[in-house]
Amino acid sequence: LAIVMHFYIIYQFIIKIMDKDRNSTFGKSPTTFPHFDAMDGDFLIGAIFPLHYTKHGDWFWSLCRFDPRAFRWSQALRFAVEEINYNQHLLPSIKLGYKIFDSCAYPLTGQRAALAVLNGPSEVYSSICSGSSPLLAVVGESGSAQSIIVSRVLQPFRIPMISYFSSCACFSDRREFPTFFRVIPNDDYQVKAIAQLLQHFGWTWVGVLNGDHAYGRFALQGLRKELVNTTVCIAYHVMIPLLYKREKALEILDVMRHSSARVVVAFSAEGELTPFLKEYMDQNITGIQWIASEAWVTASLFSGSQFYPYLGGTIGFGIRQGPVSGLREYLLTVNPLRYPNNPLVQELWGALYGCSLNPPSSISQNVTQLPACTGEEPIREQHSAYLNTSSFRVTYNVYKAVYAIAHSLHNLLSCELGKGPFQNSSCADTTNIYPWQVRTVKQYLQEVSFTISGETVNFDEKGDAIPSYDLINWQRGVAGNIEFVKVGMFDGSKDAGKELFIQDEAIMWTGHQREVPVSLCSDSCAAGNRKAFRRGEPLCCFDCVPCDSGKISNETDSVDCTPCPEDYWSNTARTECIPKAVEFLTHDAMGLTLTVISVVGACLTAAILLVFIRHRNTPIVRVNNSELSFFILLSLILCFLCALLFIGEPTVWSCMLRHTAFSITFSLCISCILGKTLVVLAAFTATRPGNNIMKWLGPKQQRVIIFACTLVQVLICSVWLIAAPPFPFKNTQYSRSKIILECSVGSDWAFWSVLGYIGLLACLCFVLAFLARKLPGNFNEAKYITFSMLIFCAVWLAFIPAYVSSPGKFTVAVEIFAILASSFGLLLCLFAPKCYIILLKPQKNTKEHYRVSAKVTGNSVKIQTSSVSTTHVLCDRCVVLLKSKLWPSGE
Ligand code: TRP
């Protein structure tokens, strides 16, 4: 029983399938398959149209839907044939016939249609075997996938085919498709146009959707190739499967929703897009800017008002429209009463009015019962799927294709004697043309050229048409429906870069917006930044990094920052190169402070000098060689003043003067101090009476010593100035952002020997003063000199590392500082105590105070000043001491 039950279930199942098949396009008996329409003639034109398309889901199990748009194309073919038959100039006295087959918009059924074109729908109609009229050429197919198969079927018979809608770039291979022609531009041009469109609107991050067929795959490949070396990147590309599956659609929609690419290019056709877009709308996804390929940009299927919120604003390149005068009226004449036997017309009525002309009882019960129609219903403008009033695009292509065939046949028949394509250049016998002779139609087609309403129709060597597209934008019509508005065009015959013309202001974008949507992976980088590409991500995704200092980028989205030329530097925004700041010590805060200090120093010295001059006769001034003191004060004034030479822009002269003046004045100053120390020391070191060392240190000799010491420095400086004088120098090395104007010393050796010489004098002075520091005397300067030299040496020793390491104008500042500090050190150490006594303690500044009494008792002598009292064993030195000029004479 179980087995019987099983068989029964299987039997029921098969019956069900067969029942379904009987109602479907595919399941009709051989005599009625595929839907066809035919007219006899001397020559036949085959035609294949996708008069039905499969409903979403499994094509085999479901019903085919009638496509009024394709029906219109078939009517255009009939119209063209009838027009040619009527035409007295084109193929006079020859009647063209046609046979139209349905491909069901599917490759497999397309193949059946191709075979049917060759053989006729049944044995009864078999054209080749029955010797009926020769088949000239085939107009077809629509989708590239079907056309490939149709072309392969027709190829062995060398029957040319002219496609009105197959734009796949794959057909350009003449070896593979030798008999293929088309009146639609190659997709290579379309992808070029789309790539230009993407760049025009700055969409650099786009998604691509393509159907799973030759058209979709080749278009994606072409677009990718076109986008290489452009700023546009493909964020994702997904394939809509041929057989619609909801899960897959949801997956795709998920990708779309989560990507930041707002622009999506779809190489697909209305058949497979319908269920997908339905799901898209169900998911309520908005904000996607669709870029439609030519296959669906003018699909009236989506022109209903319910699509506008989701698909409004769609833009894409449509096939160029053309006028077919009289076709509109012709289409209006089609009605079931006029063509009672044409099942397609009946189906048209069903599709347009939702009614059936056949009583429902005559067909299977499974068919949905439609209300009966009279057949007299008028075709109205609203039936846009059939009567697309605004323009004919694919329809116009069909029309052109028929004319191309007719013109070729015309040329074949009007073959000039002796110039024909057959053996010995003979022509075909016009009264008895064989089907095989018709094969040469291909040759004629290749060369055909004619004009339809101002447009020249011909084919290039690849069988392609001249590339030209209209840019179409989906805008809202008065009734809320979608209207296809032309907003620009692409003319492939123009020079590169000039092909695209867009009326930007006329475009309405997605979401009923006037602003161009943005589709970027990363926001563009402002000037002053450069793109830093992210590892492993497309070039359109990047971070913006500010340019390094010294480099600029003056335009947005620059990949690299350009380094500034020499002597120029980047501004803070890194947008332009500005001349480098030239830095030198000038009258800024630091320069001014130093100037003030040096002037104050000079004035102070001058004041002390004045005080000394005024009190030149007081003991304290006289006690220690006053002439030398005046010299020291004068040279100190010069020292203070020569600090001023270091301030201001270095020039050739100031550079030469700076170091030399400073070194000579300092040498002078230290020499004077040295002289002074020498005198003190010599006075105490003369050991024997009669030792006339003091004779050698008289005022004259002192001057000579000072002069000699200074002269050495003058000589070093002269050699320096002659051999390698200091010069102004632009130092760009130290800081990259500014030019430091400084004096190059010219010769380091000279510079350091000048300093070294001063150092040598100072050290000598220090050592001598150190030795003399404890010698008696009411006012022994030696300890002050020691101290001053200590300060002097300390300052200059500290100067060396500071000088070497301080940047820019600070080098000069450090040098000035050393000059001022050491000058002040000398000034204060040597003269402050004396000034103190002169000005504040005048009572100490008396002869008595400096009186020295020496009392000799036995062989010892007691020396007494106002502050010190010492007893010495009498010796020669005491005699010398008493004679010395260190004390006011006579004391
Ligand atoms: N230009 C498309 C093609 O060459 C047009 C087309 C028509 C189409 N019918 C189609 C594309 C069906 C995909 C599916 O194929």
pLDDT tens readout for residues 279-331: 999 999 988 999 999 999 988 888 888 999 999 999 999 998 888 889 988 98
CATH number at residue 704: 1.20.1070.10
The SS3 call for residue 109 is: helix
* CA trace torsion 411, 412, 417, 419 (10° rounding): 90
Q: What is the pLDDT of residue 153?
A: 92
Domain that holds residue 93: 2-184+393-457
Cα(67)–Cα(55) distance, integer angstroms: 11
How close is the Cα of 266 to the center of ligand 1, in Å? 12
Q: Which residue has the tokens 């106002």?
A: 866
State the residue for tokens 């010995």: 424
Taken in order 83, 84, 88, 89, the sign of the CA dihedral is positive
- What DSSP character marks residue 505? G
- 208 and 71 part of one domain: no
Question: Ligand 1: which of 166, 212, 268 to mutate, most ligand atoms within 8 Å of CB?
Answer: 166
Domain assignment present for residue 368? The answer is no
Structure tokens at 70: 């394709």
CB-based burial of residue 381 (10 Å sphere; 0-12 exposed, 13-18 middle, 19+ buried)? Answer: exposed
Residue 267 C-alpha to ligand 1 middle, in angstroms? Answer: 9
How far is CA 755 from its chain centroid?
Answer: 57
- Which tens digit of pLDDT belongs to each residue from 731-775? 887 777 888 888 888 888 998 899 899 999 999 988 988 887 766
CATH code assigned at 201 = 3.40.50.2300
One domain, residues 556 and 570: yes
Q: Which of 86-90, 223-227, 621-625 is predicted with the least confidence, judged by mean pLDDT?
A: 621-625
Confidence band of 891 (pLDDT split at 50, 70, 90): very low
Distance 165 CA to ligand 1 centre (A): 7
CA 271/CA 291 separation, integer angstroms: 17
Residue 343 lies in a domain: no
Task: Quote the strand ranges of 71-225, DSSP E.
Answer: 96-102, 135-139, 161-163, 180-182, 205-211
Q: Which of 56, 106, 165, 393 to mutate to test the pocket of ligand 1 (most atoms within 8 A of CB)?
A: 165
Instruction: Report the residue among 56, 59, 144, 164 best suited for mutation to probe ligand 1: largest number of ligand atoms under 8 A from its CB.
Output: 144
pLDDT in tens, 83-136: 999 999 998 988 999 999 988 888 888 888 888 888 765 544 444 444 556 788
Mean of pLDDT values over 404-408 = 91
List 135's β-bridge partners, or say none: 44
**Vertex 69: Cα angle to 64 and 72 (nearest 5):** 115
pLDDT of 698 > 80? The answer is no
3-class DSSP state of 669 = helix
Strand order in the sheet with 738-744: 581-583, 738-744, 727-731
Ligand 1 atom nearest to 211, measured from its CA:
13
What number does the ligand 1 atom closest to the CA of 293 have?
1
- Residue 347 inside a domain? The answer is no
Between 849 and 90, residue with greater pLDDT: 90
Atom 9 of ligand 1: nearest residue by CA position? 143
Question: For residue 326, which of 379, 380, 392 has the smallest C-alpha distance?
Answer: 392
Phi first, then psi: what are they for 173, rounded to 5°?
A: -80, 100
Is residue 620, in this structure, part of any structural domain at all?
yes
Tell me the pLDDT tens digit for each residue of 817-848: 899 999 999 899 888 888 888 888 887 777 66
Give pLDDT tens digits for 805-822.
877 678 888 888 899 999
How would residue 143 be classed by pLDDT, with cut points 50, 70 and 90? very high
CB 669 within 8 A of CB 635: yes
Q: Six-digit token pair at 780?
A: 């022994």
Domain boundary residue, one of 551, 579, 607: 579
Q: How many C-beta neighbours within 10 Å does residue 254 have?
A: 13
User: How far, in Å, from the CA of 157 to the mean position of ligand 1?
Assistant: 25
For residue 231, pLDDT over 90 is answered with: no
772 in Cβ contact with 780 (< 8 Å): yes
Q: Which residues does 711 contact at the CB level (< 8 Å), separation at least 6? A: none
- Are 197 and 124 part of one and the same domain? no
Q: Round to whole Å and give the CA distance between 565 and 12.
A: 89
Lowest-confidence range among 119-133, 148-162, 258-272, 543-557?
A: 119-133
State whether residue 96 is helix, strand or coil: strand
Q: Residue 873's pLDDT is what? A: 61
Q: How distant, in Å, are the alpha carbons of 73, 272, 300 from that of 391?
A: 13, 24, 12
**How far is the C-alpha of 448 from the C-alpha of 444, rounded, in Å?**
6
Domain count, the chain: 5
8 or 496, higher pLDDT: 496
What's the gap in Å between 215 CA and the centre of ligand 1? 6
CA distance 798 to 806: 12
pLDDT tier at 392 (50, 70, 90 boundaries)? confident
Ligand 1, closest atom to CA 295? 5
- Average pLDDT in the chain: 82
Ligand 1 atom having least distance to the Cα of 167: 4
CB contact at 8 A, 326 and 479: no
Task: Tell me: pLDDT of 34 over 60.
Answer: no
Same domain for 452 and 550, yes or no, is: no
The alpha carbon of 108 and the centre of ligand 1 are apart by a number of angstroms equal to 15
Identify which has the larger pLDDT, 394 or 861.
394
Report yes or no: 624 and 618 within 8 Å, Cβ to Cβ: no
Residue 30's pLDDT band (cuts 50, 70, 90)? very low
The answer to whether residues 497 and 429 belong to one domain is: no
Report yes or no: 633 and 612 within 8 Å, Cβ to Cβ.
yes
3-class secondary-structure state, position 739: strand
Q: How confident is the model at residue 504 (pLDDT cuts 50, 70, 90)?
A: very high
Give the up-direction half-sphere exposure of residue 270: CA atoms within 13 A in the CB hemisphere.
21
Compute CA distances 864 → 464, 861, 868, whole Å.
Answer: 131, 10, 6
E strand segments, 515-629: 529-533, 542-546, 551-552, 562-563, 568-570, 577-579, 581-583
Which atom of ligand 1 lies at the shortest distance from residue 187's CA?
Answer: 1
Peptide bond into 141 cis (omega under 30): yes
Residue 670 placed within a domain:
yes
Could you give the CA distance from residue 405 to residue 425 in angstroms, rounded to a whole number? 22
CA distance 678 to 372: 142
- 566, 543 in Cβ contact below 8 A? no
Residue 35 located in a structural domain: yes
Q: Which amino acid is at 488?
A: G
Of 458 and 699, more confident = 458
Write out the two tokens for 582: 């030239």
Which residue's alpha carbon is at the smallest distance from atom 8 of ligand 1? 143
Q: How far is CA 270 from the centre of its chain?
A: 37
Is 375 among the domain residues? Answer: no
User: Are 545 and 629 members of one domain?
Assistant: no
Element counts in the chain: helices (H) and strands (E): 24, 30
Give yes or no: residues 136 and 205 share one domain: no
Backbone angles phi, psi at 698, to 5 degrees: -70, 170
Whether 752 and 874 map to the same domain: the answer is: no
Q: Alpha-carbon torsion 827, 828, 834, 837, what sign? A: positive
Residue 334, domain member (yes or no): no
Say if residue 166 is in the same domain as residue 148.
yes
Shared-domain flag, residues 101 and 235: no
Determine the Cα angle at 299 with ends 293 and 305, to 5°. Answer: 120
The arithmetic mean of pLDDT across residues 673-678, rounded, is 85
- Say if residue 624 is exposed, middle or buried (CB neighbours under 10 Å; 0-12, 13-18, 19+): buried
Return the structure tokens found at 45: 């034109």
Task: Give the Å distance between the CA of 391 and the centre of ligand 1.
Answer: 19
Q: Taking the mean position of all CA atoms in its chain, how far away is CA 151?
A: 46
In a shared domain, residues 745 and 602: yes
Q: Are residues 666 and 651 in the same domain?
A: yes
Residue whose structure tokens are 């380094």? 563
Integer-rounded Cα radius of gyration of the chain: 55
Which residue ranges have their beta carbon within 6 Å of ligand 1? Answer: 105, 142-144, 165-168, 211, 213, 215, 269, 271, 294-295
Amino acid letter, 170: C
Residue nearest to atom 6 of ligand 1 (CA): 143
